[in-house]
Amino acid sequence: MHPNIVILEGCDGTGKTTYANAYMKDRPWVKYIHFGRPENGENPFEKYMELLNSVGPGDTVIVDRFHWSSYVYSLVKRRKMDMGILQFRKIDKKLMTMVHKIVLFDSTVPKIKQRFKIRGEDYVMPLEIPIILQLYRGLYNKSKLNKSTIKT
121 Rama class: left (phi>0) / alpha (psi -120 to 50) / beta: beta
Q: What is the pLDDT of residues 90-145, one digit of tens each?
A: 999 999 999 999 999 999 999 999 999 999 988 999 999 999 999 999 999 999 99
Range of the domain at 34: 5-151
The Cα–Cα gap between 63 and 7 comes to 5
CA dihedral 22, 37, 143, 58 (to 10 degrees): -50
Q: Supply the CATH number for residue 15's domain.
A: 3.40.50.300
Q: What is the pLDDT of residues 19-66, one digit of tens each?
A: 999 999 999 999 999 998 666 667 789 999 999 999 998 899 999 999
Could you give the number of structural domains in the chain?
A: 1
Residues 6+ away with beta carbon under 8 Å from 85 = none
Helix-, strand-, coil-residue percentages of the chain, each rounded to 5: 45, 15, 35
